[in-house]
Structure 1
């Protein structure tokens, strides 16, 4: 048995993404964020036990391996300056030889009790003062660079930590400053938060910073519930068989995502459609322009996912609710669901 095979056997098997039944809204939001991380991540709100964590781990496991600089704490890209640590950048610019290895896309879990130092990283002040070097211990944001950062129960996380995560996700950089010493490193990741509405909502200004908002509900159809339970039981009893059964579907989906990532830069969005997108946002009294930007990006990613270079009305229709439902001002006296409200306005303007 080869070393690689032993390593794969030692790793805990991950439930295959293509075996997940239902929850199409959540799956689509995750796939589009993988195709274009600039969409800004996804907030998944839903009942307990609806497969939120399973789906997020499954999408991370599905993704292809990436090229990283060997022994680098930031998963630095060997070619893209935007995704390199300062040390690697200097080495590349000075023409030094760099060893490159392949590794799985990082999937980092952020625990609820994490401190700011654990998230951002720490600077060894003593070493900096005595030896004159910037000694930096990378945090979770560094480990998540070029991967997925998952925060379960994000609505229970300290607000200032949520602010830090959202700032890094938006800018793609993390800056740590201590005692006049400043260190900056790349932190471009897909931020995925999940939560249960019963435990409280995020503040509107924080919620607005997530690109998409997927709502998932417990499956009510008895036959579908039986299917879900059987699928999970089969995987727990014989994970290798379940993975083998889904191998072709997993490869087909991976190929589709990879093609979409390559195609994305060529996708065009007609000016008239952009006007109508902004008209929808204006009619719904969406604050700021983040909603318009996210819809534009998500519609392009959806078109690329469907192997097209021109965005259609159907692309916009598929993602508009995901991009806007969490940006609407909540009226406690209104019984209409925010998703239905978005659909109604979309129909009125586009159809």
Structure 2
């Protein structure tokens, strides 16, 4: 079991620790509901140091990333970031990622913790023939996520930089609580917020300074309920090596006007099923529950849970292409009526 630089700080705060992607991380400190609402109404602070970070640099960095990612990296100006995916040769998804352009020939790629080794091997294989250097900075990087409507005002008190001038998806150097950091106005909750890239030795002082300034410590439980409420995918659930992103609400990521690995396979596949959002009349759906249409099984839940804002069960699910009529989710042997819902499930800024 691996530990982040904040492991002892989590214990000191009474966190309930669990195994996630081989790391000991906080599931919750008080309750998932309280932490969820603290992000929607104030500012919540997450330790996401388990995520992977790769530095991509060199004169062919852009050409390499154009081939390796589904989004258009050429649209990124220095100091900007974009959500993207790593496609495979079959048109599926190796991982979903965030890409940050740090310099003219330098990019930072953030990948999912469980996929660090797989992604690195995949990218190293693709890099052959490109004049590009690929460095794994995962062990040298700590990462915090400060999320919520009060995130900017809370963080502003700890830095001399004018955060009001920073837009969503901006990335920039700063000092936070006297420590050097790279900040990005990005996150995984649907709220405004910042992710803070730090040296491991600076993580705890900045973490504690943010808590003292008024942030609420939040664990994996709230992180998952927040991303589900926001209608965001979790790799291994909504996106896999076998899923075609064109059959999901995140098809906008795929820029068909450029060439990339697996493009022909991806565009050549007809969608046999599509990913949709469902809101239940009662009960809480969970991964693997069957989705019914007119009483017939037509799909499966990939992620499900309780929405604190809607006060109802919500789910992301793959259903047969063309399935229509009245939907239901089979919860503990009972068909619970469900309505199709646009994403996100709740209004977000």
- Above 0.5 in TM-score? no
Q: Which structure has the larger Rg over C-alpha atoms?
A: 1
* Greater share of strand: 2
TM-score by length of 1: 0.29
TM-score (norm 2): 0.29
Q: Which has the higher contact order (CA 8 A, sep 6+)?
A: 1
Q: Which structure shows the higher helix fraction?
A: 1
